């Protein structure tokens, strides 16, 4: 065990893993966290806590992770390079470990021009691969980036994100290999809708031996409506939403589109389970946590494994 987290144990035991996601509120209301967490309890193996996603000010990811730990749930601390320099990152990582957090997801972060403070400075002192390498150095060598020894070594299970659909497509697997070389233990992909292209991506990764070096979790986001599908297709970079999903959602009454979107998500989960090298699913029900239990149950992913 590198960190001994529940997620690490589930994956290394050969179970099909399931992670969820919780977006912190745009305020200090702890009840929002408790309410969202209740829908995820016993339904996922660990919970990603986003870090000021879309460059919008939200409650601290580190603080929300601590709240989840206190609730008896396992968080995945997301950390973006946009808002911190290497000093602040290392400080937060040491603090996170001291607070009982064992999984960390290293991300670049959305540019500030997309958020509610477009005039603020982007830091990007390190990029996501350098952040991965820094966390690995802390864990495996017990040293900070400066070479200073840690008084108490933070043992993290290290994660990263991957976009299988960016251009050039042929470089996607090469970029994944670079992240693995930097120290990643598990990868969560961008939302997947183009299943044929993702199948090709996984085949390439499998043939390169990358699925033996890290655990790949396929990202699934249920579509709430045809409007959401069109928005994702048109405005979210690196996403490919095939027309047949849009047509399928158009083909049902407006008040039934959410149910159809859930059916699509369940079908997608069942499809990726059959792909060689896929170790689990990262279920991102964006501000729709209350539907997670029925999606997980319909996909046949309950009960979640108990590992020691």
Q: What is the per-residue pLDDT across 63-106, written as a single tens digit (0 to 9) for each? A: 999 999 999 999 999 999 999 999 999 999 999 999 999 999 99
For residue 215, give the 3-state DSSP assignment: strand
Reading the block at residue 104, the tokens are 């960390």
- Each residue's pLDDT tens digit, 117-163: 999 999 999 999 999 999 999 999 999 999 999 999 999 999 999 99
Backbone angles phi, psi at 52, to 5 degrees: 50, 50
For residue 237, give the 3-state DSSP assignment: coil
Q: State the Cα–Cα distance between residues 38 and 17, nearest whole angstrom.
A: 19
- 162 burial (CB, 10 Å; 0-12 / 13-18 / 19+) is buried
Q: pTM for the whole thing? A: 0.96
Mean pLDDT computed over 263-273: 98
Q: State the Cα–Cα distance between residues 78 and 53, nearest whole angstrom.
A: 10
Residue 303: count of CB within 10 angstroms of its CB: 9
- Each residue's pLDDT tens digit, 232-258: 999 887 889 999 999 999 999 999 999
DSSP per-residue codes, 51-119 = SSGGG---S-HHHHHHHHHHTT--EEEEEESSS--HHHHHHHHHHHHHTT--EEEEE----GGGSS-TT
Tell which CATH architecture fits domain 6-298.
Alpha-Beta Barrel (3.20)
């Amino acid at each position: 065990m590198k960190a001994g987290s529940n997620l690490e144990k589930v994956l290394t035991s050969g179970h099909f893993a399931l992670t969820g996601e919780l977006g912190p509120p745009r305020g200090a209301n702890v009840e929002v966290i408790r309410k969202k967490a209740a829908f995820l309890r016993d339904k996922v193996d660990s919970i990603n806590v986003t870090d000021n996603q879309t460059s919008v000010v939200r409650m601290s990811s580190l603080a929300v992770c601590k709240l989840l730990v206190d609730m008896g749930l396992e968080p995945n601390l997301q950390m973006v390079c946009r808002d911190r320099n290497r000093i602040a990152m290392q400080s937060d990582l040491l603090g996170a470990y001291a607070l009982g957090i064992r999984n960390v997801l290293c991300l670049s972060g959305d540019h500030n021009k997309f958020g509610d403070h477009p005039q603020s400075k982007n830091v990007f002192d390190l990029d996501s691969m350098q952040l991965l390498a820094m966390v690995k150095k802390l864990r495996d060598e017990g040293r900070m980036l400066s070479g200073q020894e840690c008084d108490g070594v933070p043992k993290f299970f290290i994660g990263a994100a991957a976009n299988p659909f960016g251009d050039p497509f042929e470089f996607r697997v090469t970029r994944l290999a670079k992240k693995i070389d930097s120290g990643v233990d598990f990868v969560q992909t961008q939302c997947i809708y183009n299943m044929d292209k993702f199948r090709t991506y996984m085949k390439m990764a499998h043939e390169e031996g990358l699925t033996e070096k890290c655990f790949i979790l396929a990202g699934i986001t249920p579509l709430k409506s045809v409007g959401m599908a069109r928005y994702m297709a048109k405005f979210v970079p690196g996403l490919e939403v095939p027309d047949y999903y849009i047509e399928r959602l158009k083909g049902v009454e407006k008040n039934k589109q959410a149910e159809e979107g859930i059916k699509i998500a369940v079908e997608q989960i069942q499809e990726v389970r059959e792909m060689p090298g896929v170790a689990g699913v990262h279920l991102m029900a964006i501000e729709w946590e209350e539907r997670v239990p029925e999606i997980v149950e319909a996909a046949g992913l309950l009960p979640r494994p108990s590992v020691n």
